[in-house]
Amino acid sequence: MHEALIVALCVIMGTLVIWSILRAFKTGIISSRGWTFQIEESPLGFVLTVVSRLVILAGCVWFALHTLGVANDLPMSWLRR
C-alpha cells in the first residue's frame, strides 16, 4: 500500500476517535458495540471505553509515524520473532 494512503487512513481514523472522545466528554455519554455508558450511571464503563479509544488513537499515531520512518522499529521487531 502506498505510504500516503496509509497515513491518510490513520489521520482519518484518529480524527474520528478524537471527535468521539470530545463528544463523550461534552455529553457524558459514550457508546461502543451496542453498549451505552453514561458517566453518572456507569463511570467505570465510561472510563474504560475512553481509554480503549485513546489506545486506538495512540496506535494510529504510532502507525502513521512508523510508515513515515519517524517511529522506532522496536514493537515490529518483537512481532517478527
Q: What are the residue boundaries of the structural domains of the chain, listed by start?
A: 3-80
Give per-residue pLDDT as tens, 1-40: 788 998 999 999 999 999 999 999 999 999 888 889 999 9
Convert the pLDDT of each residue in 57-81 to its tens digit.
999 998 888 888 887 666 666 666 6
Q: How far apart are the first and last CA of the chain?
A: 23
67: its cell numbers: 510508515
Element (H, E) at 30: strand 29-32
Nine-digit cell string for 28? 457524558
Could you tell me the pTM of the whole model? 0.81
Distance CA 54, CA 65 (A): 16
